[in-house]
Amino acid sequence: MRTLILGVLSIVLSTNIHSQSRVFVRNSTWQDFDVEAGQYGTFSMNSSEWSGGDPIVRGWLESTGQEVLSVNRTNAAVPEGDTAYFDIGLSGDSDYLTIKLRVIGVSGGTELDYSISGNGFSEPWYDDGSFHEVQTTLAGKSVVIKFKPDNDDSNQDRDLRFAIHDLPVYELPEEDFQNPNVLNAMFYNIQMISFGVSGMPQAADRGDLLPAQISEYQDVVCFAEAFDDGPREDHLIPAMEAAGFPYRTEILNEPSGLIPFPVNGGVIIFSRWPIEAEDEIDYAECGQAASDCLANKGVKYARINKLGKVYHVFGTHMDAGGNSDDIYARRTQMAEIRDFIADLNIPENEPVLFGGDFNTDPIGGDMDYQAFIDTMHPIIPKHIGFWESSFSDDFGKIIDHAWGDRTHLVPTEITNEIITIRSLDPVLWDISEFSDHRCVLGRYTYPDFSKSGGDTLICPGESISMVVETEFSVTYQWYKDGIEIQGATDSVYHIIDAMESESGSYSCLVSYDVVYGNWTDSITPLFFPNGPDTVEARLNFNFGEVVIDQALCELGIDAATELAYKIYPNPTKGMLNILLEDGIGTAQVNVYSVDGELVRSQRFQGSRCSMDLSDVGSAMLIIEVITSSKTIHQRVVVY
């Protein structure tokens, strides 16, 4: 965690040189701009009276803006009656913007006018202290350009600030949102620190405005450092609900005593999809050197159901600091995360993902990163977008992560995209950032498996098929009673012209390997110092018992002759219909398990009857229909 000291912006602004104006550009887009500043017009200001600034305005550089021009505002620079014009050209990948200044010599100094043009637009000259904005397209993406000067120009030292802002900050595809096998999870340390200890100001304002910046197709958001109760409960939570996140966990490790100290753990998970369960742990150790014992840090867990697919999401905020007790605390916490996941006994064919502020990066000298890998054995994703996460221009200093778990359903792909979320709202204009951290977008893609057949009773001579399928490239191996069936390596296993000796417990082992870390970019060697990592996925699909029994098949068969009937559908998800010939009168329906246990009994009048067996679960059942003249038996499978 990096701390931003309160008041830093006001200190910067108060150091302006008397009678000098500067122009700043904050570039919140995905492209850099080359800068070229120059004069034009009939009057030329002496070169000693003005200067250019940064030659490149970096995309998403963490700052309140880069200086691109400074100019003397006295009559020594621009005599009364003269006017100096300046163009500040910003050249992007395919576009050109021009910031315009007009310095007019008047009695006792100068007046300052400003404008901007580019891509089919040209703003008029302004000389006020108000906000102005224009929307345009840069590099094929919609952007908004917002600008204003400092309000007070009494000392002729007003600065101008221009913000070029992607609109929206980031985008997710709608098809991801409609796909149960893709989960987009955001992990973001938002630095809402209790009691004004330190950190960024305006926590309530940030809580109000941040949710509107989140994509409408973002599935899950996990915040860290949401410590401060007021901004969280009164601002962040209502704004997240308004932004379309109706489901959330409680805050991590809320204190139960009258004195809220240590404070809560600061982690809270929001979801657009139902949260079916939640849990948490409190870390046993904390690092005194980093003051992390002021909070009940730990791990927050949510079981999320997206369109029928269950995801197990773990969010955390580990201890910060580089002293020995901090390092010891983090190493202990790594093992606690691992053990917490294991203790929940999550089925191996369900996805598990974890992320948050680990305070662990691949370039640190404390070996924390390698210790984390050795302890957790995570799946490290492919990093896309801007590499740096928490510290400006510090390549590879990525301490916020979204990782996968290799002991459960293995994703076919994970990407981590580091983005900066900023505000153009006037309330946050001076600080611009929502946090001292950038946030990480984890996109998880999982294979989808369908399974059918098995757990049934058939007669000798009949045939069945058991199937497990996926569109992903996998291998199959079928087993009977735990013994490998030689040559059974297809997605389908058939029992044709069944014999009683083929009765048994059937399963299929599905295997696939995913290689991570084989990308050719500058960041991958940091995360994969030992080269690519092959993650082996081994999933066992159990098809239950297949019973082939002549005696059960003959049950009541001689009594079923000469009576027209239909029992359908078979197999069924639960609803069962019984249709008899007309004139039967009253009939009795009994439902038995294959072991002979009576499951359900019902009488009906007439030729039709319906029963709901969905509460029985997957099973083989014997349906017995007793009429005044006949008794019918039929096997039915409920799945």
Residues 488-507: pLDDT tens digits? 999 999 999 999 999 999 99
Q: How crowded is the C-beta side of 42, counted as CA atoms within 13 Å?
A: 4
* C-alpha to C-alpha distance for 258 and 148, rounded to whole angstroms: 47
Q: What average pLDDT does the segment 588-601 reach?
A: 84
Q: Stretch 375-386: mean pLDDT, rounded? A: 91
Please determine, for residue 214, whether its predicted confidence score (pLDDT) is greater than 60: yes
Task: Answer whether residue 8 shows pLDDT above 80.
Answer: no
Phi-psi region of 300 (alpha: psi -120 to 50; beta: other; left: phi over 0): beta
**Location of each CATH 2.60.40.10 domain in the chain:** 450-550
Q: What would the mean pLDDT of 611-616 be, rounded to a whole number?
A: 89
What digits encode the pLDDT tens for the residues 233-244?
999 999 999 999
Q: Which CATH class is domain 18-166?
A: mainly beta
Per-residue pLDDT for 291 more than 90? Answer: no
Average pLDDT over residues 546-571: 66
User: Which residues have C-beta within 8 Å of that of residue 276, sequence separation ≥ 6?
Assistant: 303, 304, 305, 310
Which CATH fold would you assign to the domain 174-445? Deoxyribonuclease I; Chain A (3.60.10)
| H/E stretch holding 117 | strand 109-118
- pLDDT single digits (tens) 18-34: 699 999 999 999 899 99
Residue 582 CA from chain centroid, whole number: 60
User: Where are the CATH 2.60.40.3080 domain residues in the chain?
Assistant: 555-638
Task: Count other Cβ atoms within 10 Å, centred on residue 591.
Answer: 21
Write down the pLDDT at residue 352: 98
Greater model confidence, 424 or 385? 424
- Check if the beta carbon of residue 219 is closer than 8 Å to that of residue 174: no
Cβ–Cβ < 8 Å for 13, 65:
no
Amino acid identity of residue 257, one-letter, is G
Query: Amino acid letter at 328?
Result: Y
Confidence at residue 552, expressed as pLDDT on a 0 to 100 scale: 64
Q: Is the pLDDT of residue 13 over 60?
A: no
Q: What is the pLDDT of residue 553?
A: 67
Pairing of strands 182-192, 220-226: parallel
Mean pLDDT of 590-608: 84
Q: Helices 324-343 and 368-376 sit at what angle, rounded to 10 degrees? A: 20
Domain ranges in the chain with CATH number 2.60.270.20: 18-166
pLDDT tens digits, one per residue of 462-471? 888 999 999 9
Q: Return phi, psi of residue 559, to 5°.
A: -90, -5
Q: What CATH number matches the domain at 555-638, 2.60.40.3080, 1.10.357.10, 3.30.1490.20, 1.10.240.10?
A: 2.60.40.3080
Mean pLDDT is highest, among 28-32, 247-251, 415-419, for 247-251
Model confidence at 112, pLDDT cuts 50, 70, 90, reads very high
Maximum alpha-carbon separation in the chain: 119
| Percent of the chain residues topping a pLDDT of 70 | 93
What's domain 450-550's superfamily in CATH? Immunoglobulins (2.60.40.10)
C-alpha separations of 314 from 157, 365, 522, 564 in Å? 51, 27, 29, 58
Q: Which residues contact 457 (CB under 8 A, 6 or more apart)?
A: 547, 548, 549, 552, 553, 594, 620, 635
d(CA 220, CA 150): 39
